Chains A and B, each alone.
Chain A
Amino acid sequence: MSAIAMNVNGSNVRKEVGDSTLLVEFLREHLGLTGTHVGCDTTQCGCCVVHLDGVSVKSCTVLAAQAAGRAVTTIEGLARNGELHPVQKAFREHHGLQCGFCTPGMIMAAVELIATYPGRLDEHVVREEMEGNLCRCTGYHNIVRAILAAASQMLGPDRVVQPPADHMPAPRKSEG
């Protein structure tokens, strides 16, 4: 057991934890921040992505002790003063989530991508950069659109190439 201290979502926390405690366990089980999810054991799915000093990490593969003295942001800490982050809003607006289990990790990874990618963001870049996050519900189509829409809002339209508008005609109707 060791005492570790870190800043989580703007608050300083200090806890006694076992040496093998993973950061995701620390967040979920010691701090009750259950928005960060565990979807696999092999650093593949990305459901557990949080920011460690502003950088995306898969918190299932980081020891809590490694985060000592550092700043952690989880999905619960993304909205500020009751105002959703533009990426959160875009996921809702573009139906970028269904069951919502992968969503916190998706959003955290997307926030970092938009904040740090140096060039122009387009569909191809988003698909390549987000490859470390799995979603089983959406087929990724709407997540890509949500990320590019948020990026356009945050970075300005000059930094983002939007995909072609979705083909969504009114349904063909028949009384059957």
Chain B
Amino acid sequence: MEPKLKFKAVGQPIRRNEDERLITGHGRFTDDFSLPGQVWTAMVRSPHPHAAIVGIDSSAALEMEGVLGVFTGADLAADGLGEIPHNPVPSTKYDMKLTGRGGTPVYIGDHFLLPTDRVRHVGEALAMVVAETRQQAQNAAEAVMVDYDLLPWVADTAAAAKPDAPRVWDALPDNVLVDSSFGDQENTAAAFARATHAVSMHYHLGRVTGAPLEPRAALGHYDAASGRYTLYAGSGGAVRQKHEMAAVLGVTPDKLRVISFDVGGNFGTRNRAFVEFGLVIWASKKIGRPVKYRADRTECFLSDYQGRDLVVEISLAIDAEGKFLALRSDNLSNVGSHCVSLSPLSKGSGLITGSYDIPYATLRSRAVYSNTMSTQAYRSSGRPEVNFALERLIDKAARELGFDRLELRRKNLIKPSQMPYTNAVGSQYDSGEYEKNMDRLLEIGDFAGAQTRKAQAKSRGKLYGIGSTNYVESSIGTPKERADLIVREGGIEIVIGTQPAGQGHQTSFAQVTADLLGVPFETVTITLGDTDIVSAGGGTHSGRSMRHASAVISMAVTDMIVKAKTILAESLGVAPSDVQFEDGMFRSPATNRTVDWFELARLAVTLSPDYADGVKVRRDNEMHTPVFPNGACMCEIEIDPETGGLEIMRYATVDDVGRCINPMIVHGQTHGGIAQGVGQALWEGCVIDPDSGQPLAAAFTDYGMPRFDNMPSFITEIAEVLSPTNPLGIKAGGEGGTTPAPAVIMSAIDDALRDYGPPGISMPITPVKVWTAIHKGAGAI
């Protein structure tokens, strides 16, 4: 039985339960924890993109003040430590199936905590120093002498895919670990043959990094008496880290407790285990004291998992009237030195046809290793890349073929009557009203006033540009989630295995739970992040959490109602079928009693000591079916032709998130998502020097971030087209801000620079690139 819902808390902009501790300085971030007797570790990191480790001499470091030990990959190997089981190939029922060449298994190079043979990117840790203080450890790390044998290296994505490129892994004949094809070759070829027009483009969506403001940190403690390890480490899901680190240590998962309370930003790049997580717990046993690590910001730039980095060749076949007939795409993803996740390639692969009804498509999806930091899902894994490719191609087609760029889009959008819609590579879109999104966007973005604003900008000596895009994305994620629902006289508790890093789960999950049970929002608390309490759970990624949490909580509530009726029936001496539940109250007409949840918990205690700590239900759910959030986005810019400086004048979005639990939180997610997408378009880039292989962005002084004074205010609107795939009709709200942002910024820049030759400026679009395009022509860049 589905619980009858009366929405009171759901849909309201309820202020967050999280905020009190965070605005008063009482958050619990990893580095806030210290343990008696703790010591510090610092890493020895490779200065080379690729080198054989010939020898490591730690004798000088060991002589230094406070140093307790220097450990290398050989020490870990001697203790039998395993590799991190990243499990990088997406494997839910609805993920695009990626393989090596000819359907072979994907070759995954081993990822030990410290390598013994080679270093494969600048910043790779190859030894750890443990000392009494952080400063002593850092000083001693500089005194560890490493003898390297330099090897040829490759960092660039396209170059890494060449057959003669330097090889990152000897077990492969080249660097290509994935080579899969999708779609309908025959019909795509036929459509291109009969098309009036074909347009093509080539893009490289560059490398960026998540840059959560909390540097990654870890505190490990081994308790010899119990034989248990404790790891404090903020991440995207403590349960996952528990299982992976237990596997590395070679112990059963019950021997490890992972604590991840407040996490200072994630954006996907914290979802995979970092080597330091394993190192601190291992070293704690070795040293006999708690061991702590905190990355400095330069280490974050060098060795946090990074994002994007996709080369795309894309072609679109169009008939005389502007109808899209077929699409071809060749997508090449750079996974870096170790393959920790193929999610970006896989998710993008499923969405190459975007929001449009394109009957046929073929896709070749490849991934390559390179001598760079590993890439991982970064906010809206894989989707901004393919959205950018298709939407930019449509702008190009409109310009070259003389179509209006808005009408060309409108003509090809998937219609609500076509939902559920299976796209040309097999993704099934659940629901959506794409044209309505676009209509609302044109209204709130005031496209009607664009010509007036353009004239005003011109009178001020500015170049004006306006752009728009549509988008659709997918939310898939780990299919399993568990909720413990506990009803006590003093309140309701949900224990769940998602891991927020600012998304407000302790608020939005409480809103859902309150309405499902029919209790006040204030009576519900959400418990997260300690694996001794949270027994299972999939963590937070891919926009999965609200959808998975609401589904499993709904089921737990249904079970709880059944259980409660039984308890009440026993207590009142009636049959369970004589107890009714509605709107938060149990009624027994025969006895004329009315009981709420808290009274029920009190009665239960009188029945059995089993209920002394509340009435509990544990519910597991497995939900594979993806959802497809979607929307439309516009922006308006002005460029100063004298400086190439660019200002965002207007930025508006319409985002279909399915049912919106807390609009305040969802708007906030959209704002932050926009900033990260705009950041990639205009400032951010993990640039590697082509001559030395050295990363050039290693601090906030040389990695351009969205800031107060370069971001605009936003106009954001929510659409709630309920998804039929889950109990509350939820899609996702965390990534829609990011997905279309790079494309829409480029669309506006193109529009502004249309008198200066064909577009082709690669992101990030810095003022010097804009200035060069204006004064020397786009070809000069």
Contacts and interface: CB of A to CB of B under 8 A. Distances in A.
Interface of A: 20, 28-29, 33-42, 44-45, 47, 74-76, 78-79, 84, 88, 91-93, 95, 97-104, 107, 123, 126-128, 130-131, 133-144, 163, 166-169, 171-176
A98 B722 contact: no
B297 interface: yes
A93 B723 CA distance: 30
Given A95-B668, A171-B720, A140 B18 contact: no
B85 interface: no
A133 B27 contact: no
Going nearest first, the 10 A-B pairs with the smallest beta carbon separation are A35-B25, A101-B264, A100-B22, A98-B502, A99-B502, A139-B675, A176-B431, A44-B700, A75-B25, A139-B671
A176 B32 contact: no
A157 to B, nearest CB: 20
B131 to A, nearest CB: 14
Contact of A34 (B32, B436, B711): B32
B700 A141 contact: no
Contacts of B432: 176
Contacts of B667: 95, 166, 168
Contacts of A103: 22-23
Interface string B692-729: 00000001110001111101011111111111100001
Given A74-B25, A131-B709, A134-B707, A93 B15 contact: yes
B501 interface: yes
A76 B430 CA distance: 47
A159 to B, nearest CB: 20
A163 B212 CA distance: 28
Given A99-B265, A137-B502, A173-B720, A39 B433 contact: no
B720 A40 contact: no
19 contacts: A37-B29, A38-B31, A38-B215, A38-B294, A41-B296, A92-B20, A97-B502, A98-B503, A98-B672, A100-B19, A100-B23, A101-B262, A102-B213, A123-B713, A139-B706, A140-B671, A140-B706, A140-B708, A176-B430
Contacts of A176: 419, 430-432, 658, 721-724, 729
Interface in B715-761: 715-724, 729, 737
A93 to B, nearest CB: 7
Given A33-B25, A100-B18, A144-B708, A139 B297 contact: no
Contacts of A34: 25, 27, 29, 31-32
B298 interface: yes
A44 B267 CA distance: 20
A99 B645 CA distance: 31
Nearest to B26: A35
Contact of A139 (B504, B664, B711): B711
A101 B265 contact: yes
Contact of A107 (B23, B135, B436, B501): B23
Contacts of B419: 176
A42 B714 CA distance: 30
A163 B713 contact: yes
B444 interface: yes
Contact of B297 (A42, A84, A136): A42
A87 to B, nearest CB: 9
B34 interface: yes
A139 B432 CA distance: 27
A92 B16 contact: yes
Interface residues on B, range: 35 or more
Q: DSSP majority for the A interface? A: loop
B211 interface: yes
B675 A29 contact: no
A98 B18 CA distance: 9
Interface string B434-469: 001000100010000000000000000000000000
Nearest to A176: B431
Contacts of B212: 99, 101, 136
Interface in B224-263: 262-263
Given A41-B297, A95-B664, A168-B667, A174 B720 contact: yes
Nearest to B671: A139
Contacts of A168: 663, 667
Contact of A174 (B31, B433, B701, B705): B433
Nearest to B737: A139
Contacts of A134: 213, 700, 705, 707
A127 B27 CA distance: 26
Q: DSSP majority for the B interface? A: loop
A169 to B, nearest CB: 6
Contact of B502 (A29, A42, A100): A100
A107 B701 CA distance: 23
B214 interface: yes
Contacts of A100: 18-19, 21-23, 27, 262, 264, 502
Contacts of B23: 75, 84, 88, 91-92, 97, 100, 103-104, 107
A20 to B, nearest CB: 7
A143 B724 CA distance: 36
Nearest to B662: A95
Given A39-B214, A84-B23, 13 more contacts: A29-B34, A35-B26, A40-B215, A75-B23, A75-B24, A101-B212, A107-B23, A127-B711, A171-B720, A172-B436, A172-B718, A176-B430, A176-B721
B723 A141 contact: no
A76 B24 CA distance: 6
B379 to A, nearest CB: 10
A128 B709 CA distance: 6
A34 B219 CA distance: 15
A59 B564 CA distance: 54
Contacts of B214: 37, 39, 99, 101
Contact of A99 (B440, B501, B706, B711): B501
B25 A39 contact: no
B677 to A, nearest CB: 10
Nearest to A104: B25
Contacts of B700: 40, 42, 44-45, 134
Nearest to B212: A136
A131 B705 CA distance: 11
Nearest to A142: B668
A37 B264 contact: yes
Contacts of B27: 34-35, 100-101
A172 B265 contact: no
B720 A127 contact: no
Nearest to B678: A139
Interface in B172-213: 210-213
Contact of B440 (A39, A140, A166, A172): A172
Contact of A97 (B11, B19, B433, B674): B19
A97 to B, nearest CB: 6
Contacts of A169: 717
A84 B676 CA distance: 31
Q: Which of B20, B29, B671 has the most CB of A within 10 A?
A: B671
Contacts of B675: 136, 138-140
A104 B215 CA distance: 16
Given A37-B214, A134-B213, A137-B502, A97 B22 contact: yes
Contacts of B19: 91-92, 97, 100
A123 B709 CA distance: 10
A98 B265 CA distance: 8
Contact of B663 (A75, A163, A171): A171
Contact of B708 (A38, A92, A107, A131): A131
B709 A47 contact: no
Contact of A39 (B24, B297, B676, B721): B297
Contacts of A33: 25
Q: Which of A34, A37, A127, A171 has the most CB of B within 10 A?
A: A171
